[in-house]
């Protein structure tokens, strides 16, 4: 099925006879595979008598040979439940030494923070999980999700999304619409040897989606053009590597001011949600470990934790 898709990815018409000859199968078998592309991958295929079959729009697939310039060895899957879940399975199996990168064309159970579902259509966005080994240094984990956010934001700037900014703790926004999200998962002993999976989802060429419970945008919607996911993955890897090297050498404190200067909600009135509890305050910034500093009724308080969520106040 993927071989057929590679023949159709140029967005031009291809006759059933030509497709069958290229694949070494009958026209009837071609038709069955086309039906599977539509049902399994939710792709729209035009069928015109006398001309053949055409994808509704050209499609770029992730290509191993195009990702050789990525600083991390990449493993590409047609479909996964989630790239983070696969990365954790590989870590548990000890089959691969970190660092390595898991990529997928689509996810059936993509995960965001706080158990949210991450919408993952086929070959439109980036579903990216980087596995790193951390040896006996809690300092390497301080502010790590914020560092990753800076790398994602900087990569998007290179592709023309100059208005992309950060929202604590790990979202990348354009105005108030989400363009990328980050999910970090840790396995092992943080005081000794552990692995961290850096999960990144970027809305790249998606222009429509249902069942999304928050405002969202994509690189294509912001720029008006399709973007090469392969090129963006390479740029993201380079930015990540640069920020991670600096973070390991100097700690988050050295990058704290840069993160604050790109925080879109700096000085804004917000509500912090922790389970059933809420706290209202004004964003002061972040501390040297990446915790959120809030002015709460005239007193500075610091909040940290993966289950916290931040919202703008209605009157902000």
pLDDT in tens, 30-82: 888 888 888 887 788 888 888 888 888 788 999 999 999 999 999 999 999 99
- For residue 148, the tally of other CB atoms under 10 A from its CB is 27
311 is catalytic: yes
Residues 38 and 77 in one domain: no
Residues 164 and 252 in one domain: yes
- Is 84 among the annotated ligand-binding positions? yes
Residues 45 and 108 in one domain: no
Q: What is the pLDDT of residues 210-220, one digit of tens each?
A: 666 678 999 99
- Is 305 among the annotated ligand-binding positions? no
Q: What is the pLDDT of residues 111-162, one digit of tens each?
A: 655 456 666 788 899 999 999 999 866 677 889 999 999 999 999 999 999 9
- Is 246 among the annotated ligand-binding positions? no
CATH number for the domain that contains residue 224 = 3.30.930.10
Task: Tell me how far apart the alpha carbons of residues 80 and 86 are, in angstroms, rounded to a whole number.
Answer: 7
Mean pLDDT for the stretch of residues 217-240: 95
Mean pLDDT value across the chain: 89
Task: Give me the DSSP letters along 114-155.
Answer: GG-B----TTTSEEEEEEEEEES-GGGGTTHHHHHHHHHHHH
Residues 180 and 296 in one domain: no
- For residue 47, the tally of other CB atoms under 10 A from its CB is 12
Q: Looking at residue 222, what is its pLDDT?
A: 95
- Is 83 among the annotated ligand-binding positions? yes
User: Whole domain around residue 274: which residue ranges?
Assistant: 265-312
Residues 236 and 276 in one domain: no
Boundary (domain end) residue, out of 244, 260, 276: 260
Q: Say which of 113, 167, 238, 239 is annotated catalytic.
A: 113
Residues 174 and 126 in one domain: yes
CATH number for the domain that contains residue 293 = 2.30.30.100
Residues 247 and 165 in one domain: yes
- Is 316 among the annotated ligand-binding positions? no
Residues 39 and 181 in one domain: no
Residues 167 and 231 in one domain: yes
Residues 113 and 175 in one domain: yes
Residues 131 and 252 in one domain: yes
* Predicted TM-score (pTM) above 0.85: yes
Q: Say which of 9, 139, 220, 311 is annotated catalytic.
A: 311
Task: Tell me how far apart the alpha carbons of residues 171 and 35 are, in angstroms, rounded to a whole number.
Answer: 37
Boundary (domain end) residue, out of 55, 74, 92: 55
- Is 113 among the annotated ligand-binding positions? yes
Residues 198 and 280 in one domain: no
Task: Tell me how far apart the alpha carbons of residues 48 and 139 are, in angstroms, rounded to a whole number.
Answer: 60
Q: Looking at residue 55, what is its pLDDT?
A: 84
Q: Say which of 167, 178, 238, 239 is annotated catalytic.
A: 178
| Count of domains for the chain | 3
Task: Tell me how far apart the alpha carbons of residues 178 and 175 are, in angstroms, rounded to a whole number.
Answer: 8
**What's the N-to-C CA distance of the chain in angstroms?**
51
CATH number for the domain that contains residue 22 = 1.10.10.10
Fill in the DSSP letter of residue 18.
Answer: H
- Is 177 among the annotated ligand-binding positions? no
């Amino acid at each position: 099925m993927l071989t057929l898709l590679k023949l159709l990815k140029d967005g031009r018409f291809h006759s059933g006879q030509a497709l069958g000859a290229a694949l070494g199968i009958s026209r009837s078998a071609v038709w069955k595979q086309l039906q599977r592309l539509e049902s399994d991958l939710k792709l729209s295929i035009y069928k015109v008598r006398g001309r053949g079959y055409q994808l509704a729009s050209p499609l770029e697939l992730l290509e191993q040979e195009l990702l050789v310039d990525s600083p991390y060895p990449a493993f590409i899957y047609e479909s996964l439940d989630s790239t983070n879940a696969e990365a954790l399975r590989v870590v548990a199996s000890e089959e691969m030494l970190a660092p390595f990168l898991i990529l997928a064309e689509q996810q059936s159970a993509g995960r965001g923070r706080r158990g949210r579902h991450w919408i993952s259509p086929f070959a439109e966005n980036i579903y990216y999980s980087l596995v790193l080994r951390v040896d006996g240094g809690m300092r390497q984990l301080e502010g790590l999700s914020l560092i990753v956010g800076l790398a994602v934001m900087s990569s998007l700037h290179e592709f023309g999304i100059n208005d992309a900014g950060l929202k604590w703790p790990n979202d990348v926004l354009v105005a108030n619409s989400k363009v990328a999200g980050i999910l970090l998962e840790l396995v092992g002993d943080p005081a000794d040897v552990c692995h961290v999976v850096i999960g990144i989802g970027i809305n790249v060429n998606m222009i429509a989606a249902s069942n999304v419970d928050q405002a969202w945008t994509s690189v294509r919607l912001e720029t008006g053009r399709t973007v090469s996911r392969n090129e963006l993955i390479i740029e993201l890897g380079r930015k990540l590597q640069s920020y991670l090297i600096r973070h390991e050498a100097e700690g988050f404190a050295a990058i704290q001011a840069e993160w604050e200067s790109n925080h879109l909600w700096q000085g804004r009135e917000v509500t912090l949600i922790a389970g059933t509890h809420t706290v209202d305050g004004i964003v002061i910034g972040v501390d040297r470990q990446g915790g959120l500093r809030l002015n709460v009724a005239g007193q500075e308080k610091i909040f940290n934790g993966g289950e916290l969520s931040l919202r703008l106040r209605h009157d902000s």
